[in-house]
Amino acid sequence: MRSKILELLRSKHGNCISGAEIASQLGVSRTAVWKHINELKSAGYHIESKARSGYCLLECPDKLLPELVKHNLSTSFMGQNVISYEDIPSTNNEAKVLAAQGAVEGTVVVSEAQSTGKGRLERSFFCPAGGLWFSVILRPDFLPQEAPKCTLMSAVAVARAMRDMGLDAGIKWPNDIYCQGRKLTGILTEMSGEMDRINYLVVGIGINANIPLESFPEDIKDKAGSMSGILGHDIDRVVFLQKILTYMENLYVDVLKNGFDWALDQWREYSITLGQLIDVVGVQEKFAGVAEDIDEDGALLVRTDTGLRRVLAGDVSIRPR
């Protein structure tokens, strides 16, 4: 009902609609309308109540609320179920619980801030308000070893959406998004599965959207950046999230239907790692070489003095030219 009332208010483009008209169009009492309007107000919607002409929506809150994310979202399942929070420890943890309970594919958990956001290998991740912190539940008919496809595909979706917003974004293997030498995004994919099938994947995406550069902690100040910091203005996070979800769905559906080639080609196109001299720090090894390609499994192929090496996990740093 709340979404329907909001829809009606929005359809007036800032003009008023009377409580009586809302009540009659939606078949509820005027008291119910009044109650829902008050709820919307306390959720942050700026709604003016005028004595004779009714209600008028002046501004939506700058929040990633379900009804805002889903408004005009053209996907068929990605982001069609949204659960939003003001501040939770970790959207990935919440999404894992929901996935285990059977949440539908494409469910999105989003939070304005995360108190214990984390990156790969339990590394902590700074997740203040203004950023875009969300997790998507996927249930691909994949073997566990194919799971990295979803991470790579998600990185492509984010990079594309960032380019739409005017940023020259590129992907550093495996799944960090960089712009002007600064890291803007981290992706942490978690999985639950058996040996020959995935039960669910949770793709956690953290994006430094509207975060003033001066608010970054000292230790990451030189390496991290934000979209607003580079663009010089805040972005509309709802529009941006919708773009990501749309690109993710397109890529995902294509990967499931036609295989990984198209997504992989786009990953290659956006890559800032391929062709570069890199240092690889793996679990038990350290070596340098030229990043030549990635393969179907998402492994990085590195040309070294002793031959081609296949890197499945590890950290990569690109040597400045």
- Residues in contact with a second copy by CB under 8 A are 120-121, 141, 143-145, 147-148, 151, 174, 188-197, 199, 283, 298, 312-314
Q: Closest approach of Cβ 69 to a second copy, in Å?
A: 26
Whether 311 contacts 319, CB under 8 Å: no
* CB closer to a second copy, 20 vs 97: 97
* CB closer to a second copy, 231 vs 312: 312
* CB closer to a second copy, 147 vs 263: 147
* CB closer to a second copy, 81 vs 145: 145
Q: Closest approach of Cβ 147 to a second copy, in Å?
A: 6
The contacts of residue 203 (CB under 8 Å, 6+ apart) are 135, 136, 138, 150, 151, 154, 187, 189
* CB closer to a second copy, 82 vs 138: 138
What 220-226 contacts at long range (C-beta under 8 Å, 24+ apart), as own/partner pairs, is 220/126, 223/182, 223/183, 224/126, 224/182, 224/183, 224/184, 225/179, 225/180, 225/181, 225/182, 225/183, 225/184, 226/131, 226/184
CA atoms of 162 and 208, how far apart (whole Å): 11
The amino acid that residue 21 corresponds to is: E
Q: Closest approach of Cβ 7 to a second copy, in Å?
A: 39
- 164-197 CB burial, b ≥16 within 10 A, e <16: ebebebbbbbbbbbbbeebebbbbbbbbeeeeee
* CB closer to a second copy, 192 vs 304: 192
Structure tokens at 305: 């003095």
* CB closer to a second copy, 70 vs 149: 149
Q: Closest approach of Cβ 274 to a second copy, in Å?
A: 19
Q: How far is CA 216 from the centre of its chain?
A: 20
Q: Closest approach of Cβ 296 to a second copy, in Å?
A: 13
Q: Closest approach of Cβ 148 to a second copy, in Å?
A: 5
Region class of 193: left (phi > 0), else alpha (psi between -120 and 50), else beta: beta
Provide the 8-state DSSP code for 83. Answer: E
Q: Closest approach of Cβ 266 to a second copy, in Å?
A: 19
Q: Closest approach of Cβ 149 to a second copy, in Å?
A: 10
- 105: closest CA among 252, 242, 216, 295? 252
* CB closer to a second copy, 80 vs 93: 93
CA atoms of 22 and 20, how far apart (whole Å): 6
